Amino acid sequence: MQNFKKIVSEKVLAAIEANFGETTITANELAQMLEYPPDTTMGDVALPCFKLSRSLRRSPVQIAQTIANALEDASIKHAEAVNGYLNISISDEYLSSIINTEVLVKGDKYGSATFGEGKTVVLDYSSPNVAKPFHIGHLGTTVIGHSLKKLHEFVGYDCVGINYLGDWGTQFGKMIVAYKMWGDRDAINAGGIDKLVELYVKFHHAAEENPALNDEARAEFHKLELGDEENISLWKWFIEISIAEYKKTYAQLGIEFDSYKGESFYTDKMPAQVQKLRDMNLLKIDDGASIVDLEEYNMPPCLILKRDGSTLYPTRDIAAAVYRKQEYNFDKAIYVTSAGQSLHFAQWFKVVELMGYDWHDKLVHVPYGTVSINGAKLATRTGNVILLKDLFAQAIDKVSDIMEEKNPNLENKAAVAEAVGVGAIVFYYLSSNRIRDINFVLEDALSFDGNTGPYVQYTYARTCSLLERANEIKLPENCVFTSNDERELVKTLARFPEKVLEAIDAYEPSVVTRYILDVATAFNRFYHNCQILSAADSEVVATRIALTKATNYVLGNAFELICLKKTAKI
């Protein structure tokens, strides 16, 4: 609909200038003013003329009526003035051109753009803590981050996905103590990260009874910092086990990272940034700690060094940002973390600005809400977590049972069950605005009724089945529409490029998810109300197959943007 809005805005501007004289209003401003009416009987787009009243010195009613009388174009079926609104309907000829010269020509590129070409976006997301489980709390940063990566790639950006592993800190001292006290190498090699988690939980239970264990953990981490060979070896082993486990889950989601550089990578890069802060007289000593005072920016001080001189998260994040700018020369650096870290990012973003880095305004924090399980907060140290691999397994098993009942002869059942089961979880999560807190109810997430992942994947599979049966039918040069269900489907498909831009501008994948539901609803209404292969008129059959193919492209393209896999059969 972007192109139609452009045509309308240019025609409206010409009508304004012809009837009211020259104006400072631009066609682009008029395009921004165009709205989608809540009811299609009021037109396909509407221009509220109230905002034009002051500059044109006419009443909204007069402006709307004057433009309606002057508005003519092959793309416009009808223009009507109603109470200060200009309501405009799209012609069938233009709807046909959307399918024939846009969707079907561009195919898997439909909805994409090129304005990001020559620019680089660095995305920091997922980033679990090593030797801890990949649980449902990591789902948000992982799927939101990867969706944003796919969205930016779709409009031409060169994207770098970074998994900023939590691979440094006192928790490794705890793991080393726990391993030395209770660990078994063969058992850990066999059990993987689950065994490491058991040790971590066991340590915290033991430390509640014997707080001196925390002192031992600090001592072991200090040895790690000093390069103790045994501790370095254990630390690297813990990381290898963790990444191997994480990659299994990433594979199920279709996610790959360009970098796994974690916190430890920046250990030798922090001193230079601390010295720069000192040289610029930005560091102050407060109760022995080194801080940057941010009071005049209405924020608490940003802690850079503890009293003992050790670094903190802001120190590492600043060093990492400087390195990434030097390494990738990014045009935008996106950080996807929980909303609880918003102050942390605001603080160190401000410090980067105060340090004189002219790219400080290219740093973007994308926050998201918390996840609880039936109202219970997640906590690794108590073992109160739902592992993603277990959640995915439950979903896959449920899909497998349904397929065994409804379609026992389906080929590649295991692969389809994984695509649909994992997709159900991802779609459920990305259906909500990212900033909302989510109380994850497994029964709702795995439901196969209503506005769910399986519903939209089944719709995609339905288009594939129709196209397979219609592979001998030649697509029409021009579509012939005989029902409003056809027209409404085309209008819905035409909004995809707009939705892509809206999702990027708001850093909001749920825009795409909700749009997918709109497409599925429009297609299924069309499917149930219109004969497709059995229509009597060959022109009508060809048009409806063209609409099916266009829907297949749009759903497939949109699925790619939210980590949802395409399944031709379910």
Is pLDDT above 70 for 378?
A: no
pLDDT tens profile 517-526: 999 999 999 9
Query: Is 471 within the bounds of a domain?
Result: no
Residues 368 and 225 in one domain: yes
Residues 310 and 179 in one domain: yes
Residues 159 and 86 in one domain: no
Query: Is 411 within the bounds of a domain?
Result: no
pLDDT tens profile 302-358: 999 988 888 889 999 999 999 999 999 999 999 999 999 999 999 999 999 999 999
Rg (CA), the chain: 28
d(CA 194, CA 199): 9
Identify the pLDDT of residue 560.
97
Last residue of a domain, one of 382, 406, 438: 382
Residues 183 and 254 in one domain: yes
Last residue of a domain, one of 351, 382, 413: 382
Burial class (CB in 10 A: 0-12, 13-18, 19+), 279: exposed
Residues 29 and 140 in one domain: no
Q: Which of 510, 505, 374 is nearest to 434 (CA)?
A: 510
Identify the pLDDT of residue 72.
86
Residues 145 and 275 in one domain: yes
Burial class (CB in 10 A: 0-12, 13-18, 19+), 122: buried
Query: Is 567 within the bounds of a domain?
Result: no
Quickly tell me which residue has 């592992």 as its tokens: 387
Q: Which residues pair with 368 in a beta bridge?
A: 338
- Return the amino acid letter for 197: V
- Return the amino acid letter for 106: K
DSSP letter, residue 99: I
CB 509 within 8 Å of CB 452: no
Query: Is 240 within the bounds of a domain?
Result: yes
Residues 188 and 136 in one domain: yes
Confidence label for 440 from pLDDT (cuts 50, 70 and 90): confident
Identify the pLDDT of residue 120.
98
Confidence label for 421 from pLDDT (cuts 50, 70 and 90): very high
Residue 288 or 570, more confident:
288
Identify the pLDDT of residue 377.
61
- Return the amino acid letter for 272: A
Which residues form the domain of 182?
120-382
Confidence label for 180 from pLDDT (cuts 50, 70 and 90): very high
**Average of pLDDT values for 187-198?**
91
Query: Is 345 within the bounds of a domain?
Result: yes
Residue 536 or 186, more confident:
186
Of all residues in the chain, the percent with pLDDT exceeding 70 is 97
Q: Which of 10, 84, 92 is nearest to 44 (CA)?
A: 92
Residues 18 and 131 in one domain: no
Query: Is 568 within the bounds of a domain?
Result: no
Q: Is 305 helix (H, G, I), strand (E, B) or coil?
A: strand
Residues 281 and 163 in one domain: yes
Confidence label for 374 from pLDDT (cuts 50, 70 and 90): low
Is pLDDT above 90 for 2?
A: no
Of all residues in the chain, the percent with pLDDT exceeding 90 is 78
Residues 158 and 63 in one domain: no
Q: Is 121 helix (H, G, I), strand (E, B) or coil?
A: strand
Identify the pLDDT of residue 494.
96
d(CA 154, CA 114): 8
Residues 252 and 367 in one domain: yes
**Average of pLDDT values for 447-464?**
89
Q: Which residues pair with 292 in a beta bridge?
A: 283, 302
Q: Which residues pair with 76 in a beta bridge?
A: 90
Q: How many residues does the chain have?
A: 570
For residue 358, the domain's CATH number is: 3.40.50.620
Strands ordered across the beta sheet of 76-82: 45-48, 85-90, 76-82
For residue 13, the domain's CATH number is: 3.30.1360.70
Residue 159 or 535, more confident:
159
Confidence label for 11 from pLDDT (cuts 50, 70 and 90): very high
Q: Which residues pair with 259 in a beta bridge?
A: 162
Residues 207 and 276 in one domain: yes
Last residue of a domain, one of 90, 109, 131: 90
Q: How many domains does the chain have?
A: 2
d(CA 197, CA 202): 8
Query: Is 500 within the bounds of a domain?
Result: no
Indicate the helix (H) or strand (E) that contains 359.
none
**Average of pLDDT values for 58-70?**
94
Mean model confidence pLDDT for the chain:
92
Is pLDDT above 60 for 382?
A: no
Identify the pLDDT of residue 441.
73
Query: Is 504 within the bounds of a domain?
Result: no
